[in-house]
Chain A
Amino acid sequence: MKFLRNIFDNAHAKLNKSEKTKKLFPLVDSVDTLMFTPNHTTNGGAHIRDGIDLKRTMMFVILALIPCLLFGMYNVGLQHDLANSTIEWSSFDQFLYGLMKVLPFVVVSYGAGLGVEFIFAIKNGHAVQEGYLVSGMLIPLIMPIDTPLWMVAVSVVFAVVIGKEVFGGTGMNILNIALTARAFLFFAHPTSMSGNNVWISGFKEMKETGNLVDGVSGATPLGDLASFAQDQPAYSSLGGFIQDGHSFVEAMWGLYPGSIGESSVFPIMLGAIFLLLTGIASWRVMASFFAGGLVMALILNQFAGENAYMQLPAIHQLMYGGFLFGMVFMITDPVTAAQTTKGKFFYGFLAGFLGILIRVVNPAYPEGVMLAILIANVFAPLIDHMVISTNIKRRLKRVKIA
């Protein structure tokens, strides 16, 4: 470790020599603080401090995302294999294919995002903050696999600059960065972000060359469900949909087309358990988000009538789309969530409730969860304001009683 330490110390010494190179300090410092917890000691106030820091917190979220990432890689390969009539792969080959497809997303996401962060760090003369570490991993996982990489880069830059840096950087943003990136693409390039052609790797190509296996529509389960409200539904009834590989258990495993990391419940639950055990994510937000979605889905069940989509059992409904991924990794982002303990319950519930409502009632937006979380982000400060107002009133009342 001495050897590494010397490299950094030398680099700092060299940078400090001239005013010009001093500006590059954040570059070296960021790598340095990544490799070594700095030698800063407490100065004023408490003389000892908790071992936790933002780097560890962020890194734990990334660790929680690893199962989703690995599953996503496998599923990308699997879906490609299933759709392509010319190939017959082993599971390992499927994974390798997925790896080759997904890795560029991760590289582009981190490259573009951290690039922007570095520019702002140098411009403002502060250290690079850790906020983007998690966003950078989330963004690939919520993209359809056939999204062009340049679009990913553009959306990342948009999200980091407009979503975060204009508000003052890490900890100051109002909207969830990863979802800002996705929403930007969703509205700027809808054809690359929705419909039936983007969820399987190389889908359009296979369609053109005729290699596509017959009957593969490329639709996500939510796409199929949404088609019940349209003129030509993919299935004649809900029963048909469920029997065709969409049972509850199959929904748990999630081996169907979808955004890269969000289709399977299993790895998401692994991440959820890890985040809850380590106390990184708020169980209050998660639980209330789930409750909100469940309540809305149950309400819709009551008014289903002839609408097959609304007949889908409530719990089954929640397994699809980004609902659970949003519950574990998106809504729990502490910066954009409500900050008060009570507020967290309202906040989570609101997001879950709206998520299912938007998804089912407006089939043009099967990804209602994304929009619902962004709406809840906007409402979070209002929720906090109301909670705090009641606290202020309660303590003012104390005077009158006494």
Chain B
Amino acid sequence: MSKSIKIRKGLDIRIKGEAEKSSIEAPLSSTYAIKPTDFHGLIPKLLKKVGDHVKAGTPIFQDKYRDHIKYVSPVSGKIQEVKRGAKRKILEVIIEADKEISYEAGVPVDIASLDREAAKEALLAKGLWPFIKMRPIDVVANYTDTPKSIFISGFDSSPLAPDYDYLLYTRDKEFQAGVDILKKLTEGNVNLQLRVKGGADASFTQVKKVVTNKVSGPHPAGNVGPQIHQIDPINKGEVVWTVNAQDVAIIGRCLLTGRYDASKLVALTGSEATNRKYYRVIIGANASDVLNGNSNTDNVRYISGNVLTGAQIEADGYIGFYDSQLTVVPEGNEHKFFLTKGWLEPGFKKLSNNSAYPSKIFGPKKFDVDTNLNGEERAFVVTGEYEKVFPFDIYPVHLIKSVMINDIDSMEKLGIYEVAPEDFALCEFVCTSKINSQEIVREGLDVIHKECM
């Protein structure tokens, strides 16, 4: 049954640098990369060596412990380099792309005829499984589980987020195919959440076999975390799967055509980017293809994803697997004199959710921000500020403290199964004590993953 939910707590961060709704075909990159670090907790086992030739859809590595899950090359070409970090951890597998993409041979899949096991087989075989993530823990789903429901958010409410209606425009067949196969995987519903206000793209409104729920309210209304919490909350032992809307369309497209065609739109956003538009790229593309001349290069930070949850990359780094946004913001690595720009400035233009800055009321419509921490890390002092932006029936600070002291029993009781790091992004943003709460929640989830699942 479809529900209408209202998110009351939260915060829309209004910053400069939205993308204009027109798209550009980005040129084919010379290199692509698939990054094991995009898939938290993954220990990859390489299937190809440097110098090997791969096609789009050829498995490059697989999960060491769940060896059915294969990670495939997005393009055809030669494996140029395997970049490793500390303890020889694999960071990136870089593929030098051919001029023309050649695909692994495959035939269109007749989704209607598949049963659950066959559907899983099809997704695993085509390298589409990594698009499916699971809650709790927020990692790539286990193929042995049967989730009680699957959640797809039909909009993104994070700062400067790409417009999903634009991403999915004219993709209705692909989206439907993706939903069809997801529906096979669960005994419950495939839930699709749309905004109460404003029309959605036909891909969302016309799609069948889903339960459409309406959500209103500020960010994080578009995150699946609060949506799951209100519609079908996760209790200990239960599993819910989530897929990004654009990834559903990719899954659908690959099944309809039979080939691994992972092209998607990526929005270029952020105050330091120029020519902010949507760029059609292939997963794993080099950011420089999009940034090429479209951004200031002096003292800026490139983020794959949004400013709250994204990952910092180099100007010639690679766009993350799940990201459909590239953000460029100025670095804030300067000392700021306390009365003019620092901690005791009048603050009519400083972005803050705190009334101690008049900008809360008198501020501009859109703010300039940089990456300065605006303070130093401290112990928790101020109370009640996390609760203002955390739309869960959970006590966020106490949950974080239980993680800090590694108390598994308390973590379970306080609701760690329902949250993902991204749900704490706003808490981290508003924190007076500048505590990296996403990192802490991630540590907690890792402990739970290891000890309890």
Contact = CB atoms under 8 A, between A and B. Distances in A.
Interface of A: 1, 4-5, 33-57, 59-60, 127, 129-131, 168-172, 277-280, 282, 334-335, 337, 339-341, 344, 384, 388, 391-392, 394-395, 398-399, 402
A55 B356 CA distance: 11
B87 to A, nearest CB: 19
Contacts of A384: 398
Contact of B235 (A5, A171, A402): A402
Interface string B305-336: 00111101000000000000001010111111
Contact of A46 (B307, B332, B394, B432): B307
29 contacts: A36-B335, A36-B337, A36-B342, A37-B343, A40-B376, A42-B373, A45-B438, A46-B307, A46-B425, A47-B307, A48-B308, A48-B329, A50-B354, A50-B430, A51-B350, A51-B357, A52-B357, A54-B375, A54-B433, A55-B375, A56-B344, A127-B376, A131-B381, A282-B383, A334-B381, A337-B383, A339-B398, A340-B395, A398-B233
Contacts of A1: 337, 340
Contact of B351 (A44, A50, A341, A394): A50
B370 A48 contact: yes
A60 B352 CA distance: 15
Given A1-B340, A36-B335, A341-B387, A277 B355 contact: yes
A278 B333 CA distance: 28
B70 interface: no
Interface of B: 13, 15, 159, 233, 235-236, 301, 303, 307-310, 312, 327, 329, 331-338, 340-344, 347, 350-357, 359, 369-376, 378-384, 387, 393-395, 397-398, 413-415, 425, 428-434, 436-439
Contacts of A40: 372-373, 376
Given A37-B341, A171-B378, A45 B333 contact: no
A212 B371 CA distance: 64
A340 B381 CA distance: 13
B343 A55 contact: yes
Contacts of A395: 233, 235, 393-394, 415
B370 to A, nearest CB: 7
Given A38-B376, A41-B373, A51-B350, A57 B397 contact: no
Given A392-B413, A402-B235, A47 B430 contact: no
- For the complex, would chain A's binding face be called helix, strand, loop or mixed by DSSP majority? loop
B260 to A, nearest CB: 31
Contact of A170 (B236, B369, B372, B381): B381
A48 B307 contact: yes
Contact of A41 (B15, B371, B414, B436): B371
Given A36-B335, A45-B438, A339-B383, A51 B432 contact: no
Given A1-B337, A282-B384, A391-B393, A48 B378 contact: no
Nearest to A280: B356
Contact of B437 (A4, A43, A45): A45
A51 B347 contact: yes
Contact of A38 (B335, B353, B431, B439): B335
Contacts of A5: 335
Nearest to A387: B395
Contacts of B337: 1, 4, 35-36
B352 A48 contact: no
Ranked nearest first, the 9 interchain pairs of A and B with the lowest CB-CB distance are A53-B375, A171-B379, A37-B342, A279-B355, A51-B350, A51-B352, A36-B335, A52-B354, A37-B336
B148 to A, nearest CB: 10
Contacts of B307: 46-48
A279 B430 CA distance: 13
B335 A49 contact: no
Given A37-B336, A37-B338, A340-B395, A279 B354 contact: yes
Given A127-B376, A278-B355, A402-B235, A48 B429 contact: yes
A50 B355 contact: no
B18 to A, nearest CB: 15
Nearest to B235: A399
Given A47-B371, A54-B432, A384-B398, 14 more contacts: A5-B335, A37-B336, A39-B334, A41-B333, A46-B428, A49-B374, A49-B429, A54-B376, A54-B382, A59-B344, A339-B384, A339-B397, A388-B414, A399-B235
